Amino acid sequence: MMDLSTKIYLDYAATTPVDERVVEAMLPYFSRDFGNPSSVHGFGQQAEAALENARERIASVLQTSASEIVFTSCGTESDNLALRGAVLSQRTQRGANHLLITPVEHHAVGHTAEQLARYYGFELEYLPIDQYGCVDPQDVKARIRPDTALVSVIYANNEIGTINPVDEIGVVCREHGVLFHTDAVQAAAHLPINLEAAQIDLLAIGAHKFYGPKGVGALFIRKGSNLVPSQTGGAQEYGMRAGTQNIPYIVGMAEALRLARLERSERSGKLIPMRDRLIGQVLEEIPGVRLTGHPERRLPNHASFVFEGVDGNTLSMMLDGAGFACSSGSACKTGNPEPSGVLLALGLSPAWALGSLRVTLGKGTTPQEVDQFLSVLPGVVERVRALQG
Amino acid sequence: MTVNNRGVKVVVAMSGGVDSSVAAALLVERGYDVTGMMLRLWSEPGAEEANRCCTPDAMGLARKVADKLGIPFYALDAKAEFHNTVVRYFTDGYLKGVTPNPCLVCNRNIRWEFLLNRARAFGAEFLASGHYARIHRREDGRFELWKGIDPHKDQSYALSMLHQEQIAQTLFPVGEFTKPDIRQKARDFDLPVAERAESQDLCFIGDRDYRRFLNEHAPDATHPGLIRNRKGEVIGRHNGLAFYTIGQRKGLGIASPTPHYVLEKNLATNDLVVGKEDELGQKTLVAHSASWILGEAPGETFSAQVKIRYRAEFASGMVFPLDASHFRIEFDEPLRDITPGQGAVLYNGEVCLGGGIIQESFE
């Protein structure tokens, strides 16, 4: 086994460690309270109670009703169910054939939309974005058509951290009677989400971004949204998602989201100053660097950059060698450098876009770790630049 | 030994094969701080699986080995560099009418430049690989390249164009062992690659015929033409000079009671010149791109054992350095298949002295 005890983890947007309180909450549901919530007997009733209790908790954090929460296996599955389910239903109900998304979606939305266009004949249109990857609600208004089946705009971007004005976009969609979905997988860890007030119809989350376990997610489906289920079978999850529910993971997600809500301001209060110091110092001290994403309207833990003349993959590798686990927007473990579509959509040239670095902080991050990172980064960037020369 | 190596950072070039996996395991056993790196060198749309050494499958194996050994592993992209140096060298060679050996260039420019630079920037003192060769430190502090212990597997030929500073930063852990030893070690270390087949062909061509590769990547090297004898008489037709090598007998398609052999390729006329067995055999060659492991030729004139291909037998001869980049070899006995473009690699017993690229040969 590799010894990672001396490594500093700065990749909380990729995933987070499961909070020990969450593990505690999950443990009884593996071997002791193991029932199938669909069963009639006591074991089943106990499991069903745990399931519905978790649903209630999640609904209360999101300020909505439990009957509007559907459990899935991850954020990606939630996005799939939202997109596929909404557009197929809208086409059947009213012949709507137009799908409006942004060019900076996570692949869970982007690739699903492309498949819907290519194999199902939907007309896919991309909303314009500004240099920060932000959508203007007026552009949504201008592009919505009578046959628009769904608008999907990412809540907070995983690669560049930008937060979109989803409340205003929701209002525009509601005015035009069009369903609005948002991928809130990154946002749920950090931002207050009030579905009672917002005009969002569909919202996807995944537990492992907020110190819950991998392999579980949820989709908020506003009453009356009428989706076609993508996974068919039994009647679980109001018929929206067949398959026996993963009780320990669902319980874990509910507890993790409750803690995220409870500790939100405390966590953000710690994260934002560290983030701002990190961004400020990198921009000041390293030549040939740009911040990607919005300077203010961004996730509290998220710093992302592009470096001119740097290979992002090599940079991540060198940083890992120096003891810091970060990621590159262009990164992929196979060493195949493709500039990120999100960064190209911001108008960056491939030469800049290949040099991306994402540093995302979390509960475990200390100001000392940020200092250590800042003391190492300039030298590493310089060494990687020398290799490109 | 283990104590001295502790904390010394080494990057191992891993391919997912037996030799580089055992190399990594041996270094871990000896106490080094080991990191695995794998180069992605080549992929062709639709033929991603055809090349041998950097397929997703090979990468998966290398990752498994790294995990087993508890070492970090990274994949690096070198496709552009590999294409611009190695593949272009290969196709350009055929366009010039020679039979190039791209492995020599790959080792010098990709593994011991691109990868060595990254290993150094990563903080490593050494780059290691699974080659069967040895390094010997002389009393004067310079380093010699020696043959691997196993005469059937010795790979010093392909490393003969490395320079002193490259070798000084290199480790060849498997060169001290025979191939059967290394397979046994792979089993002893319980590496998931112990029974993997040898890779022998050019990695970027893999299982495919190199003729098809040339048709696709250097179509100008594959124009059909005439086969003539030494007298200039047309005695057949060829499919493109690139498809023949000096000394080749099979596949000429000449109807004749006695076999014909390829003697020469005439690029200017696109003629393939063939002859009888007694016309084969040349005693002298001139090589360009001379490269000496110690940085300079061993003497004004010296005797050496010479390999004119990776798989050739050793042939004895006298070597005459002509200038900084050329040398002439006069062999004791004529050789039938001196092939321009291949390396002429010189040895003194176990020691690889360096070599050059065969330019031309004479009787």
Tens digits of pLDDT across chain B (363 residues): 455 788 899 999 999 999 999 999 999 999 999 999 999 888 765 555 555 556 778 889 999 999 999 999 999 999 999 999 999 999 999 988 899 999 999 999 999 999 999 999 999 999 999 999 999 999 999 999 999 999 999 999 999 999 999 999 999 999 999 999 999 999 999 998 877 777 666 777 766 677 788 888 888 888 899 999 999 999 999 988 888 888 888 888 888 888 999 998 888 899 999 999 888 889 999 999 999 999 999 989 999 999 999 989 999 999 999 999 999 999 999 998 999 999 999 999 999 999 999 999 987
Tell me the per-residue pLDDT of A123-149, one tens digit each, with 9 for 90 and over.
999 999 999 999 999 999 999 999 999
Q: What kind of fold does domain B282-362 have according to CATH?
A: Elongation Factor Tu (Ef-tu); domain 3 (2.40.30)
Supply the CATH classification number for the domain B223-279.
2.30.30.280
Q: CB distance from A386 to chain B under 8 Å?
A: yes
Q: Which residues of B are catalytic?
A: 106, 203
Q: How far apart are CA A207 and CA A247, in angstroms?
A: 13
The average pLDDT across A183-196 equals 96
One-letter amino acid for residue A180 of the chain: F
Find chain B residues with C-beta within 8 A of A335's C-beta.
38-40, 74-77
Cβ-proximal residues to A241 (8 Å cutoff; 6+ apart), any chain: A70, A71, A72, A81, A219, A229, A231
Taking a C-beta distance cutoff of 8 angstroms, is the pair A193, A172 a contact? no
The domain ranges of chain A are: 20-262, 263-388
Is B75 an interface residue toward A (CB < 8 Å)?
yes
CA distances to A389, B121, B320 from B305, in Å: 40, 38, 13
Element (H, E) at B315: strand B315-323
Residue in B35, B59, B71 nearest the CB of A334: B59
Helix axes A367-388, A312-321, angle to 10 degrees: 130
B chain contacts of residue A7, beta-carbon cutoff 8 Å: none
Q: What pLDDT was estimated at residue B278? A: 87
For A179, the enclosing helix (H) or strand (E) is: strand A179-183
Q: Does residue A239 have a pLDDT over 60?
A: yes
pLDDT of residue A331: 44
Strands A69-72, A217-221: parallel, antiparallel or unpaired by DSSP? antiparallel
The b-or-e profile of A110-130 (16+ CB within 10 A means b, else e) is: bebbeebeeeeebebebbebe
Burial of A131 (0-12, 13-18, 19+ CB in 10 A): exposed
Architecture per CATH, domain B8-188, reads as 3-Layer(aba) Sandwich (3.40)
Distance CA B286, CA B357 (A): 8
Interval A199-212 mean pLDDT: 98
Tens digits of per-residue pLDDT, A74-124? 999 999 999 999 999 999 999 999 999 999 999 999 999 999 999 999 999
Q: Are A286 and A310 in contact (CB under 8 A)?
A: no
**Residues of A with a known catalytic role:** 332
Is A313's Cβ below 8 Å from some Cβ in B? yes
- Contact list in B for residue A337 (CB cut-off 8 A) is 77
Residue of A320, A334, A384 with shortest CB distance to B72: A320
Residue B112 DSSP label: I
Question: Please, what is the end-to-end C-alpha distance for chain B in angstroms?
Answer: 52
Residues in CB range of A9: below 8 A, 6 or more apart: A325, A362, A364, A365
* Interface subset of B 307-336, CB within 8 angstroms of A: none
Token pair, residue A127, equals: 């909303």
Chain A nearest-CA residue for B120: A383
For β-strands B351-362 and B343-348, DSSP reports them as antiparallel
* CATH (one of 3.40.50.10490, 3.40.190.10, 2.30.30.90, 3.40.640.10) for A20-262: 3.40.640.10
Distance CA(B299)–CA(B255), nearest Å, equals: 49
Which DSSP string do the residues of B334-349 spell out, in sequence order? EES---TTSEEEEEET
Q: What is the mean pLDDT of residues A193-220?
A: 97
Which ipTM score applies to this complex?
Answer: 0.87
Determine whether the interchain pair B72/A318 forms a contact, defined as Cβ–Cβ distance below 8 Å: no
pLDDT of residue B54: 66
Closest CA to A302 of A152, A170, A191: A191
Mean pLDDT, chain A, whole residue set:
95
Among A314, A326, A354, most B C-beta atoms within 10 A, so best to mutate, is A314
Q: Which residues of A touch B120 (CB under 8 A)?
A: none
Contacts of A313 in chain B (CB under 8 A): 76-77
For the domain bounded by A263-388, which CATH number is listed?
3.90.1150.10
pLDDT of residue B258: 86
Answer whether A334 touches B (CB < 8 Å): yes
A&B contacts, CB < 8 Å: 43
Please, which residues bridge with residue B170 across strands? B127
Question: What span, in angstroms and rounded, lies between the C-alpha atoms of B276 and A374?
Answer: 73
Q: What is the pLDDT of residue A3?
A: 83
Q: Residue A69's pLDDT is what?
A: 98
A263-388: same fold as A20-262? no
Q: Nearest by CB to A383, which of B39, B77, B121?
A: B121
| Residue among A317, A334, A383 whose CB faces B40 most closely | A334
| Percent helix / strand / coil, chain A, rounded to 5 | 45, 15, 40
Q: In this complex, is the C-beta atom of B71 within 8 Å of any C-beta atom belonging to chain A? A: yes
Tell me the pTM: 0.90
| Cross-strand partners of B228 | B234, B273
- Decide if B171 touches A, using CB distance below 8 A: no
Strand B33-40 versus strand B73-77 pairing type: parallel
Tell me how close the Cα of B120 comes to any Cα of chain A, in angstroms: 10
Is A261's pLDDT higher than 90?
Answer: yes
Which residues of chain B make contact with A334, given a CB cutoff of 8 A? 40, 56, 59, 75
Closest residue to B70, CB basis, from A1, A322, A386: A1
Candidates B15, B33, B69, B76: best to mutate against A (most CBs of A within 10 A) is: B76
Residue A4 has pLDDT above 90, yes or no: no
**Cβ proximity of B119 and B76 under 8 Å:** no
